Structure 1
C-alpha cells in the first residue's frame, strides 16, 4: 500500500512541476524578480505552518548548525537563480528550452559525480555524456542558438542537488531554512516596491495577487509529495518518474503555447533522448546484474 501511495505521490509531484508553465503564465505581467520574491516569502509562510503543525520546530533548530547553514545558504542562492531563470524563461516564451534543461539535468548529475565526488564513469555513462555534449554543440552550431537557458537550469539544479548530498536534512526542513535565508531580502524588496507604488500585489486585481501567494503552494506541495515518494520508492523507479516533468513541459510549450519546434531542434532533443535511454538502460542492467549476483551466491 505504501508503494502504491508512493507512486501516486511521485506522479503528483512531477506532474505539478511539469505543469508550472501554465501557472507562471497567469502572472506573466509581473516582473520575474518580483514573482521570485513572492514565491520565496509565501513558501516560507507555508513551510513554517507545516513545520509547526507537525511539531518539527526542534528538528529544524537542530539542523541549523554552522556547517548546514553555510551549505544551505549556497544552495538557497542556487535554487533562487534556478527559479528566477525558469520563471523568466517560461514567461518570455522559452518553455521548450526549460524542458530541455530538465532532460539534461540527470546527465549533468553524472558529470558532477565524476568531477567532484570521484565516482567512476562506466562506458555507457561516458557515451551518454558524449551524446548530450554533441546535442549541445549541434544546437549551438546547426540550430544557431546556444542552449544557455537549458544549461543554466540543468547546471544550477544539479549543483543544488549535489550540495544537498553533503547534509542530512529533510527536504521540508531544508526548504524552510533556505526560504528563511532568502525571505528577508525578498520581503524587503517587495515592501520597497509597494512603498514606491510600483508593486504588483493587488495592482493587477485580486486574481493575480492570489496567484502570487499561490507561488508558495506550488513550491512546497510538490516537494512534500516528492519527499514521500523518495521514502517509499526505489531510486530507479523515482528516476523514471522524473521525466514526466520535462515531457509535460515540452507538450505544453509546443501544443498549448505554440512554441517553435522545427526539425533542427528535434534532432538536438533526439540526441538527448538517446543519451537518456542509454543512461537508463545501463542503470537497469547494472542493477539486474547485481541482483543476479546476489541470488547466485
Structure 2
C-alpha cells in the first residue's frame, strides 16, 4: 500500500512541478534571488501550519536536536536552494529549453545514484528503457548545439538532493520544515534589506504579483512534500522514470499555451523519451503480474 501511495505522490509532485512555468511567469519581473527568498519564507509558514495541524511539533524538535539529521538536512537544504535559484534565473534569463533539458537528464542521474549508493539493480527490460532514454537525452543535448551547463547543474543538484533526502530517517513533512527553518533567516533578512532600501518587489508591482509571491509557499511546499514521501517509498530508479512527467508537461504548456517553437528534430528526442517511459512501465507491470500469478499458483 505504501508503494501505491508512493506512486500517486510521485505523479502528483511531478505534475505540479511541470505546471510551475505558468506560475513563475506571473512574477517574471521579480529578480530570481528575491523570488527564491520569498519561496523560502512563505514555505516555512505553510510547512509550520502542516506540522502543527498534524501534531508533530515535539517530534520535529526532537529530530532537530540530533546532530546527524541536522547535518544531512542542512546539505539537502543548500542543494535545494541552489537548484531553485538556478532554475528561476534560467527561466527569467530566457533559458527555459535548457532548464527543461536538465529535468530530462536528472532521472538518468537518479537511476545511476540508485545503483551506485543503494545497490539497486535493473532488469534487462529496464536497462533497455534507460538506454533509449539516454540516447534521447544525448540527441537533445547535441541538438541544443553547445554544452548545456545549466541543464547539467540542475540535473546533478536535484539528484544529489534526492540521494541526501533518502539517507535521512526524518519524514517528508518534518524534513521540509527543518530545511526551510535553516534557510528562513537569510531569506527574510535579504527581503527586509530590499524593502528597506526601496528596491524590493513586494507590494511594488501590484496586488497580483504580491499574492503570487505569497502563494509561492504553497506552490513550493505541496509538490516537495509529495516528492519527499515518494522518495522514501519508491526506488530511485522508479522515481527517475516518473520524473519525466514534469518536463513533458512543461513541453505541452510551452507549445499549446505559450506558442513556443518546437521543430521536428526536437520532437524525435521527446518521442524516444516517451518510448523509454512506456517500455520501463510496461516491463514493471509485466514482472508484477508474473509475480502475482506465481504467488497465486503457489497457494
Same fold (TM over 0.5): yes
Contact 2:18 2:245 in 1 (8 A): yes
CA pair 266-151 structure 1, distance change in 2 beyond 3 A: farther
In 2, the alpha carbon distance for the partners of 1:137 and 1:193 equals 42
Cα deviations by residue, 1:23-65 (Å, 9 ceiling, x for unpaired): 1100000011110010001101121122223321111112221
Query: In the alignment, does 2:29 pair up with 1:33?
Result: no
Cα deviations by residue, 1:225-266 (Å, 9 ceiling, x for unpaired): 667889999999988875543332111112222222112222
SS in 2 for 1:200: coil
How many equivalent pairs are there? 296
Q: Which moved more, 1:12-21 or 1:68-77?
A: 12-21
**How many Å apart are 1:166 and its aligned residue?**
0.9
Cα deviations by residue, 1:81-109 (Å, 9 ceiling, x for unpaired): 22222222333444444444434433322
Q: Which runs of 5+ in 2 are unaligned?
A: none
Contact 1:136 1:146 in 2 (8 A): no
* Residue matched to 1:85: 86
CA pair 177-118 structure 1, distance change in 2 beyond 3 A: same
Query: In the alignment, does 2:282 pair up with 1:271?
Result: no
1:85-234 to structure 2, matched below 5 A, reads: 85-224=86-225
Cα deviations by residue, 1:100-133 (Å, 9 ceiling, x for unpaired): 4434433322111122223334333333333333
Contact 2:107 2:244 in 1 (8 A): no
Query: In the alignment, does 2:52 pair up with 1:48?
Result: no
**How many Å apart are 1:160 and its aligned residue?**
1.3
Contact 2:79 2:158 in 1 (8 A): yes
Contact 2:172 2:229 in 1 (8 A): no
Normalising to structure 1: TM-score of the pair?
0.84
Q: Which moved more, 1:225-234 or 1:212-221?
A: 225-234
Q: Which runs of 5+ in 1 are unaligned?
A: none
Q: CA RMSD in A?
A: 3.4
Q: Which moved more, 1:157-166 or 1:237-246?
A: 237-246
In 2, the alpha carbon distance for the partners of 1:238 and 1:126 equals 15
